[in-house]
Amino acid sequence: MDVIDHLFIRGERVKPSTSSTITVVSPWSEQPVATVPNGTTRDMDRAVAAAVEAQRSATWGHAPLEVRVAAVRRFADVYAARKQEIADAMVLEMGCPVTQVLQMHVEPASVAFRYYAELAASYPFVERREGARTTLVRRRPVGVSAAIVPWNGPAFLSVLKVAPALAAGCAVVLKPSPEAPLSAYVLADIAAEAELPAGALNVVPADRDVSEYLVAHPDVNKVSFTGSTAVGRRVAELCGRSLKRVGLELGGKSAGIILPDADIDSTVAALRTASFANAGQVCTARTRVLIPRARYAEVCDALASMADSLVLGDPNSSETEMGPVISARQRTRILEYIGIGLAEGARQITRRKPGDVPDTGWFVPPTVFADVENSMTIAREEIFGPVVCAISYDTVAEAIAIANESEYGLSGSVFTEDLEAGLAVADRIQSGTFGINTYGNDICAPFGGVKGSGVGREMGPEGLEAYLEYQSVLVPSL
């Protein structure tokens, strides 16, 4: 078992303030694989103080743009060189299959770091505007930023916060999830190897109470949080007390709308990943599949066959398509939802039952329910597991209404052979992102949700701008 006995503060490995530790357990082996320090409020004070010092320094917060860009480029270079190490850490801590980790987490994170390094190099941090008077509009770092990430995609989600924050000139305190802190330690090592200025990035794993302390810390200027909607509301409440800047990327219950003309084979192939990647532990997962009534039986059969064919097993194997869920507690929670679905009258159309999984690991069988009404619990609440609801509709207008009848608004897809019909559907869906015959997101475009799915945007130039404040400076006409 790996024993990590340090925090990463002010560019150095430092001893924690207490001997309290967090045990990291492999979801695959169900055995402890590492221990890391359990950060305290004193540790957070040290990390925030280091970030404040960096923010005020000539080496980071007040460094010339070219210095900051060079540092982020170095970070991107080292990250790219150590991708496999990050992937190995993620497989160990979260049980996601290695092929998915590389393709969906680590490689996109590497692209994101490079994107923000180059965006900062060309971004108009100062703009001259001529009106009745001459004004210089300056975009300045918002200040010390807290990045709080969940366990279901720690490498990519950390980079989506750290990379734009650094590119903007902010100093960061990264608080990884207690369930999956190992990849954050690789990120800290990368920062050291890239010779990031001291205090620009600090890493302290901790439990919820210390996370709240970080969020409310008076020297933290911005909080970026990814996680559940319930916790997001608490983060927003704490930030609201001091009018602190906050970005929230929260839960989802995204719909995949199949139009009557859709090609079923290609649609179901897309849903194989869009609904079941990372054992369904994805906030953008298409967990409600809306099917025209005339094709309902056909599509349900195809969905069930696809889910039954998914290969469950060792996440280290390139053959594995679905690994275990993150913890025994999460498995119990998902199985309870499956029981609720059956009790409410939904019909399970997949063959595998809870016992039809590998003997070792916290596995949940991929499950598809038919005869689901959108009012059912399994269609309304975020299960965060491999459970898909098949819902029938009669008209496209009804499908749109069902998709929008949710407290969430994060993502979704429409599947059709008619691009104009797909665009017409997209125009009426209440979500931050949407795909036509596809899923996922691109680093160049903003990502985030509406309604209960969050506030603010990550990715794209908007992701950089989330870490900037505007200052207007009136000057004599030149």
Question: What is the per-residue pLDDT across 390-412, written as a single tens digit (0 to 9) for each?
Answer: 999 999 999 999 999 999 999 99
Mean pLDDT for 420-424 is 98
- The full DSSP string for 47-95 is HHHHHHHHHTSTTTTTS-HHHHHHHHHHHHHHHHHTHHHHHHHHHHHH-
Q: Is 170 a catalytic residue?
A: no
Backbone angles phi, psi at 148, to 5 degrees: -115, 115
Pairing relationship of beta strands 222-226 and 387-393 according to DSSP bridges:
unpaired
pLDDT tens across 181-209, in order?
999 999 999 999 999 999 999 999 999 99
For 291-345, what is each residue's pLDDT tens digit? 999 999 999 999 999 999 999 999 999 999 999 999 999 999 999 999 999 999 9
Rounded CA separation 55/194 (Å)? 18
Is 150 a residue whose pLDDT tops 70? yes
Whether the CB-CB separation of 46 and 52 falls below 8 Å is answered with no
- Catalytic entry in 170, 283, 300, 389: 283
Distances, alpha carbon 283 to alpha carbons 3, 141, 405, in Å: 31, 29, 17
Helices 154-168, 83-94: inter-axial angle, 10-degree rounding: 130
User: Which entry of 96, 170, 179, 249 is annotated as an active-site residue?
Assistant: 249
Where does the pLDDT of residue 1 fall: very low under 50, low under 70, confident under 90, or very high at 90 and above? Answer: confident
Does the annotation mark 300 as catalytic?
no
Q: With pLDDT > 70 as the criterion, what percentage of the chain qualifies? A: 100
| pLDDT tens-digit series, residues 27-49 | 999 999 999 999 999 999 999 99
For 145, the enclosing helix (H) or strand (E) is: strand 145-148
Q: CA 205 to CA 299: how far, in whole Å?
A: 44
Residue 160 has pLDDT above 80, yes or no: yes
Residue 263 has pLDDT above 80, yes or no: yes
Query: Could you give all domains of the chain from N- to C-terminal order, each with its CATH number?
Result: 2-250+452-475 (3.40.605.10), 254-442 (3.40.309.10)
Strands 134-141 and 126-130 turn out to be antiparallel
The percentage of the chain sitting over the pLDDT mark of 90, rounded to a whole number, equals 98
Q: Which helix (H) or strand (E) holds 378?
A: helix 377-380
Q: pLDDT, tens digit, for every residue of 56-107?
A: 999 999 999 999 999 999 999 999 999 999 999 999 999 999 999 999 999 9
pLDDT at 127 over 70: yes
- The pLDDT of 136-160, averaged and rounded, is 97
Q: What is the DSSP string of 244-287?
A: -EEEEE----EEEEE-TT--HHHHHHHHHHHHHGGGG--TT-EE
**Cα(first)–Cα(last) distance of the chain, in Å?**
66
Distance (Å, whole) CA 131 – CA 223: 35
pLDDT at 477 over 80: no
Whose CA is closest to 388, among 261, 266, 263, 279? 279
- pLDDT tens, 11-21? 999 999 999 99
The reported pLDDT for the residue numbered 242 is 95
pLDDT of residue 478: 60
Q: pLDDT tens digits for 346-395? A: 999 999 998 999 999 999 999 999 999 999 999 999 999 999 999 999 99
